[in-house]
Chains A and B, each alone.
Chain A
Amino acid sequence: MRVLALSAPLVLACGEVRTCLLPSFQALDGRAAAQLLRLRADELVRVSERPNLYALSPDVLTGVDCRLPTSNGTKVRAVGTVAARAALTEGRVLQATAYFSAPAGGPDTRRPWGHYLVRPGLVEPFGKLPEQATAEGVLRGGGRGELDLGMISEGLLAQLLRHPLLDHKAPFKSRRTHLRWAARRAPEGEGPSLERFTLAENGLRTVSLRLPENTPAAAAAGLCEDLALHDWLLTTVVHMLDNSRLGAADGPSAVLALRPAVDHLLHLWMPRAHVDHTLGHLWDVLEREPGFTRQWQTLVQRIRDQLAVQAVPLLHKALSTR
């Protein structure tokens, strides 16, 4: 998008997505979604209605000047701006992403701030960037004083959650997930690939990617938001089924516990709906192993079966009292 000549080719893009249920009793319609995500008064919120309702905020920037997290302890100072944006899917699932790209190297001194401002979402290292160590460092999470993408995405999410549109009466309780991603440049001539998707504890997921040089970081962010959204759906519905104690609890109470899934979540499954077309096929790996959609269909089937079973006695009763 930006035409300004970049000093060095970009070799790394990293980000963190936080995904949560919108804390509101009702899902927001397209207009309200646009209102919520209007982070800048003068910039349009992108709203799509096909194939599902999806709103994406403009990017906002945060200036940083700190060390980059590295897996091998290499100390690299970097200066620039981290971009952050928020997305709302079907007026129900809210996501905030913080992301940046980095060139292979940069000068050893800090330049005037204007230089960085016209390169939004770019963080320039002092000297050479240890690509692999930084990618691993971001996925592992930074130490004190190191670039903290989680803090930036959390800051944006917190800002949105204070919006007057939200009543904080969500239809059910749910946990957030954090998905950290790092994309190194793919070898010359090779297409994009998803190298690893890791499910860690406490709602943390990590994704390693390889992307060709011309893939914008925003497209990678979009793919990872899509992965995070669907992983959150799986996580949340699995938790809901666990808590409903199907089989152990009596029928009606299990139905009560599963009802919110039917009302608010089951229609949200739509992988790749808003992913850049050059990256959509990266989903294929996850569909083969472990099979995201396969698991989702099983969960949905279980919930539907349960509701059907519970409906039988009611039907019975209705017929007998006729």
Chain B
Amino acid sequence: MLVFAASDKGGTGRSVTSANLAYHRALAGDDVCYLDFDFGSPTAAAVFDVPDARQAAEDRGLHSYLIGEAAEPARIDVWSDTEHRVLRTRPPGSGRLVLMPGDVSGGEFATTDDNLRRCVDLLLRLNSEFDLIIVDLSAGRSYAVDMVLEATSLREMSGVEARWLVFHRWTRQHVAAAASLVFGKRGIVAGGVARGHDEEALRNVIRFVRAAVPDPESALWSQVSPTQSAWMRECDRDLKQLASTQGIGYSLVLGSVPLEPVLQWREQLITDEDVLDSQIANRETWDALSELAGRLTDDKFWEQP
């Protein structure tokens, strides 16, 4: 299955969250591939803590492959190449976790027929090899978004299941922007329909992920004053209302990830050790990521709302 990770703007935690989802699925035994289509600002190397990826990304990254300069994009086996102390020991029963880095110097580029064909070839090939392929797309309505919309509209790809995750922060501006990215005049749905996607089918494979959501009930906020607490609750309620009127209400939300300092500041994978031993990350975050990872392939969450 293909999962495209999109976001309206930068800073939504899209890359780090989707990388964590890849990690959770690999832990559960799936063979997972993570593609960094965030051309221009590839971050995956840092998230997975694989310095090799930086080297490979000099001239053999996805960008070089798509424009025809590299025969095959570089692959990094995260379990064996990471410098992350915990990740280095691959847990028994886990699946493969492979990173395909973007290019350090590769900017955005127009989608030509050749680039598109290579994109399709790559996705088809990975689909026969991996249980789950997570494609991290550059923010906004980027070329990367256009390219995969085009690719998935082609007959060759019709047998490959694809789902979309749209990440947004839990603020008024981000909620509106995320709705516009998907449903707006130049949004993903309109762009998909223009390329031959069936509108209803496309809508049914798009879900939202609320990122960095402060939970007023969480222990994190137990010290705030009653006034602050009441204000937080009110804001949260208002935002829910807003999301609902923007058409991205509860039924379209796959999950929420709590505001988590480790995600925000370190931008790395959260391991069980971070939760259990060093306890720098919150249990709630781990659980939310785990739940979200499970829902990616749980058809119950992808039925028509």
Chain A interface residues toward B at CB < 8 A: 20-21, 23, 148, 150-151, 154, 158, 161-162, 164, 166-170, 173-176, 202, 243, 245, 248
Q: Which residues of A contact B31 (CB under 8 A)?
A: 173
Majority secondary structure, A binding face: loop
Q: Is there an interface contact between A148 and B71, defined as CB atoms closer than 8 Å?
A: yes
- Which of A162, A175, A245, A248 has the most chain B CB within a 10 Å cutoff? A162
Known: A168-B156, A202-B75. 18 other contacts (CB 8 A): A23-B124, A154-B71, A154-B72, A158-B121, A158-B124, A158-B125, A162-B121, A162-B124, A166-B159, A168-B157, A169-B159, A170-B128, A173-B31, A174-B128, A174-B129, A243-B29, A243-B95, A248-B93
Q: Is there an interface contact between A162 and B120, defined as CB atoms closer than 8 Å?
A: yes
Q: Is there an interface contact between A151 and B71, defined as CB atoms closer than 8 Å?
A: yes
Q: Which residues of B contact A161 (CB under 8 A)?
A: 121, 124-125, 156
Q: Is there an interface contact between A173 and B130, defined as CB atoms closer than 8 Å?
A: yes
Q: Is there an interface contact between B71 and A23, defined as CB atoms closer than 8 Å?
A: no
Q: Does residue B127 face the partner (Cβ distance < 8 Å to A)?
A: yes
| Per-residue A-contact encoding for B64-102, CB less than 8 Å = 1, 0 else | 000000011001000000000000000011010000000
Q: Does residue B185 face the partner (Cβ distance < 8 Å to A)?
A: no
Look across to chain A and name the residue whose beta carbon is closest to the beta carbon of B123. A168
Cα A158 to Cα B120 in complex, Å, equals 9
Cα A23 to Cα B125 in complex, Å, equals 9
Cα A69 to Cα B31 in complex, Å, equals 34
Look across to chain B and name the residue whose beta carbon is closest to the beta carbon of A248. B93
Cα A295 to Cα B85 in complex, Å, equals 36
Q: Which residues of B contact A168 (CB under 8 A)?
A: 124, 127-128, 156-157, 159-160
Q: For the side of the interface on B, what is the size category?
A: 20 to 34
Look across to chain B and name the residue whose beta carbon is closest to the beta carbon of A21. B128
Cα A243 to Cα B28 in complex, Å, equals 12
How far apart are B111's CB and chain A's nearest CB, in angstroms?
17
Q: Does residue B300 face the partner (Cβ distance < 8 Å to A)?
A: no
Cα A140 to Cα B159 in complex, Å, equals 36
Q: Which residues of B contact A243 (CB under 8 A)?
A: 29, 95
Contact of A176 among B120, B121, B129 (CB under 8 A): B129
Q: Which residues of A contact B29 (CB under 8 A)?
A: 243
19 contacting pairs across A/B (C-beta < 8 A):
A21-B128, A23-B128, A148-B71, A154-B72, A161-B121, A161-B124, A162-B121, A162-B156, A166-B159, A167-B159, A168-B128, A169-B159, A173-B130, A173-B131, A174-B128, A174-B129, A175-B129, A243-B29, A248-B92
Q: Which residues of B contact A245 (CB under 8 A)?
A: 93
Q: Which residues of A contact B130 (CB under 8 A)?
A: 173
Q: Which residues of A contact B75 (CB under 8 A)?
A: 202
How far apart are B97's CB and chain A's nearest CB, in angstroms?
14
Contact of A23 among B72, B121, B127, B155 (CB under 8 A): B127
Q: Which residues of B contact A175 (CB under 8 A)?
A: 129
Q: Which residues of B contact A174 (CB under 8 A)?
A: 128-129
Cα A148 to Cα B71 in complex, Å, equals 8
Cα A21 to Cα B75 in complex, Å, equals 20
Closest 6 CB pairs of A and B: A168-B159, A158-B121, A151-B71, A167-B159, A23-B128, A162-B156
Q: Is there an interface contact between B155 and A164, defined as CB atoms closer than 8 Å?
A: yes
Look across to chain B and name the residue whose beta carbon is closest to the beta carbon of A176. B129
Cα A175 to Cα B125 in complex, Å, equals 9
Q: Is there an interface contact between B155 and A20, defined as CB atoms closer than 8 Å?
A: no
| Per-residue A-contact encoding for B211-250, CB less than 8 Å = 1, 0 else | 0000000000000000000000000000000000000000
Cα A180 to Cα B170 in complex, Å, equals 53
Q: Which residues of A contact B131 (CB under 8 A)?
A: 173
Q: Which residues of A contact B155 (CB under 8 A)?
A: 164
Q: Is there an interface contact between B127 and A150, defined as CB atoms closer than 8 Å?
A: no
Q: Is there an interface contact between A150 and B128, defined as CB atoms closer than 8 Å?
A: no
A21-B128, A162-B120, A174-B128 are contacts. A150–B159 as well, Cβ < 8 Å?
Answer: no
Cα A170 to Cα B95 in complex, Å, equals 19
Cα A166 to Cα B71 in complex, Å, equals 24
Cα A202 to Cα B74 in complex, Å, equals 12
Residues 137-180 of B contacting A (Cβ, < 8 Å): 155-157, 159-160
Q: Is there an interface contact between A173 and B129, defined as CB atoms closer than 8 Å?
A: yes
| Per-residue A-contact encoding for B27-47, CB less than 8 Å = 1, 0 else | 001010000000000000000
Q: Is there an interface contact between B128 and A20, defined as CB atoms closer than 8 Å?
A: yes
Look across to chain A and name the residue whose beta carbon is closest to the beta carbon of B77. A202
Q: Which residues of B contact A162 (CB under 8 A)?
A: 120-121, 124, 156
Cα A21 to Cα B156 in complex, Å, equals 17
